[in-house]
């Protein structure tokens, strides 16, 4: 059984510390900075065995070298990002199974935000670490890949079970929720989610994690292949990747 500590970092990043009590193994996902991670490790009296990166951006890797130096951790990162992340010990490619904090985890290559972005799914716990590919009610900006690649990446995540718990890289939920309501104003489930999100943010609480099954019904970026969704939000397009592209472009200018 894996226990997850959510650590807020930088302005709106989340770093996840995974601890396996039985085997006493600890892993960190996307340490954008080292100090807040060290603070929790000290308080818990844990060593840091593994560092995992979803992609090369500094707000996900900035703490790598300091943590590695102190804890002699193993750095696991996408093979596709080998030229952008230094000192990788174990490379992962699409479909690889690696052990994270003692649990089998599947690497899912999700190009779009960056070309080499990888998400990690732990089937035993139904946990998905979605990095900057999928956010609560949103998705990452398409910086390096094409809109079509990003759409296909989101489709891969959409295939995971409804009871998957998703941990994403940023607290962007409130602004994503505002955009989602703007383009899909008649979605009652979305309105409910928006109220919950608002309450949490007003109390200064994280909105993460969230459930993938709910997300399939309320995240507009996941719904581009759904019958009649495009027309319900006023888009006269038939190909899912074109619909996705239109929604992503609207969000970029929102
Ligand atoms: Zn990023
Ligand atoms: Fe990021």
- Residue 54 CA to ligand 1 center (angstroms) comes to 9
Average pLDDT over residues 202-219: 98
The residues pairing with 77 across neighbouring beta strands, listed in sequence order, are 91
From residue 7, give the alpha-carbon distance in Å to each of 39, 48, 119: 10, 15, 18
Q: Which run of H or E residues covers position 7? A: strand 2-9
Q: What is the mean pLDDT of the chain?
A: 97
Q: What percent of the chain has pLDDT over 90?
A: 98
What was the pLDDT predicted at 227? 85
Looking at all shown ligands, the one closest to residue 14's CA atom is 2
Please tell me the predicted confidence (pLDDT) of residue 76. Answer: 98
According to DSSP, residue 228 is labeled T
Burial category of 190 from C-beta neighbours within 10 Å (exposed 0-12, middle 13-18, buried 19 and up): buried
Q: How far does the centroid of ligand 1 lie from the alpha carbon of residue 99, in Å? A: 23
170 alpha carbon to ligand 1 midpoint, in Å?
Answer: 9
CA 100 / ligand 1 centre spacing (Å): 21
pLDDT of residue 168: 98
Whether residue 252 contacts residue 214, with contact meaning beta carbons closer than 8 Å, is answered with no
What is the number of the ligand closest to the CA of 144?
1
Look-up of token digits 């690649």: 149
pLDDT of residue 238: 85
Calculate the alpha carbon distances from 180 to 53, 193, 209, 217, 220 in Å.
Answer: 28, 11, 18, 11, 6
Ligand 1 centroid from CA 71, angstroms:
25
The helix/strand/coil state of 59 is helix
3-state secondary structure at position 244: helix
DSSP state at residue 81:
G
pLDDT digits (tens, 9 = 90+) for 141-153: 999 999 999 999 9
- For residue 164, pLDDT beyond 90: yes
Domains and CATH numbers, the chain: 2-174+207-215 (3.60.15.10)
pLDDT value for 166: 98
How many angstroms does the Cα of residue 49 sit away from the middle of ligand 2?
23
User: pLDDT tens digits, residue range 22-35?
Assistant: 999 999 999 999 99
207: confidence class by pLDDT, cuts 50, 70, 90: very high
> Which residues sit with Cβ closer than 5 angstroms to ligand 1, an ion?
57, 132
Residues carrying an active site annotation? 55, 57, 59-60, 113, 132, 170
Looking at all shown ligands, the one closest to residue 9's CA atom is 2
Query: Which pLDDT belongs to residue 196?
Result: 98
**Whole-structure pTM value:** 0.98
Q: What is the pLDDT of residues 69-111, one digit of tens each?
A: 999 999 999 999 999 999 999 999 999 999 999 999 999 999 9
């Amino acid at each position: 059984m894996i226990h997850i500590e959510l650590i807020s970092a930088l302005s709106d990043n989340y770093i996840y510390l995974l601890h396996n009590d039985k085997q006493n193994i600890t892993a960190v996902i996307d340490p954008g900075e080292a100090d807040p991670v060290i603070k929790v490790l000290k308080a818990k009296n844990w060593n840091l065995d593994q560092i995992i990166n979803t992609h090369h951006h500094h707000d996900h890797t900035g703490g790598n070298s300091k943590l590695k130096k102190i804890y002699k951790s193993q750095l696991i990162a996408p093979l596709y990002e080998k030229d952008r992340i230094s000192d990788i010990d174990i490379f992962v490619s699409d479909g690889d199974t690696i052990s994270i904090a003692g649990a089998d985890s599947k690497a899912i290559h999700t190009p779009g935000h960056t070309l080499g972005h990888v998400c990690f799914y732990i089937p035993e716990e139904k946990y998905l670490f979605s990095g900057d590919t999928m956010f609560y009610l949103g998705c990452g900006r398409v910086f390096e890949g094409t809109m079509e690649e990003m759409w296909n990446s989101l489709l891969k995540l959409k295939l995971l079970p409804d009871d998957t718990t998703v941990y994403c890289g940023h607290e962007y939920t409130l602004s994503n929720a505002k955009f989602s309501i703007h383009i899909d104003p008649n979605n009652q489930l979305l309105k409910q989610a928006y109220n919950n999100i608002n309450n949490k943010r007003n109390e200064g609480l994280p909105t993460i994690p969230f459930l993938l099954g709910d997300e399939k019904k309320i995240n507009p970026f996941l719904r581009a292949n759904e019958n009649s969704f495009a027309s319900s939000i006023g888009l006269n397009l038939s190909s899912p990747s074109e619909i996705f592209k239109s929604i992503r472009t609207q969000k970029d200018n929102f």
